[in-house]
Structure 1
């Protein structure tokens, strides 16, 4: 009987740009253009996620079920110790909604205007379920976003953010940095 996650050998055969150690990817995830996807160490990607385009995922990252990451040519960067809760959509590219152009991938490019901008998600970030992250956004280190947040602008480090569109609620505690140091010290001892 097969495990619900790909084996190391199967991950290597998929053709990722890079695969670290202890990478768990559900067999039910959809991976497009794996040669543009880099996976660090201790990465978990759950059922029904879609990864497409240029994506760079660092260490100790969890991407929960039903997340969609559309990196396109510009890409998505996800830093260390970061969590994307379920049903998050991250767009590094999107159609132009102005009405000046036609939309969808079945229309020839001369009739569309695709907007492509890199998305940066820093270290120690947590994004709540159902959130949407739009092209060009920088979510700096330590940011927390509540459920159903529409991230359409850059977010200040160590802040808690909520809403549609996003707004800062308050500052976030940095205590977890002490826990991170303790965690890493214990890893080095092993």
Structure 2
């Protein structure tokens, strides 16, 4: 079950010892989520960081009864309200499975213990934080500087599985356009 996450960490930390890996693996928990089930809720502290073994997850919040999508996550990606996870403050957004999803979860307290007992995981934590920062900086830049059509092209380039696995109304929400406008964008791109 931990083959994908083990491979992920071996790529991130080439010198990962069997002892350190086992200490990490001993703290992991496998969770199953049905399509539509929340992994975590807005306004509650997020204690878990999840590695998606199988499935798809959206990050969202609800404003005036309307769901706004911030990102999509698929296999071999980490998902969490990372700000809440780090600050121990209530989350700004929720996480929801849009397919039946299996995650491998690590609790905040367990991660802190790993940092103390196996400092090699501090490197992994730093690398994960840097990747999160880069992703957020690019997303903010994209929202401020790019037109929806360009953001759609970038989404397809970065996460091509969106086309087959994500309902178009969620993609439209992510882009900040109506489903009808997304349909027109898709037609222009396919010409």
Higher strand share: 1
Relative contact order (C-alpha < 8 Å, sep 6+): which is higher?
2
Q: TM-score range by the shorter chain?
A: under 0.3
Higher helix share: 2
TM-score if structure 1 supplies the norm length?
Answer: 0.26
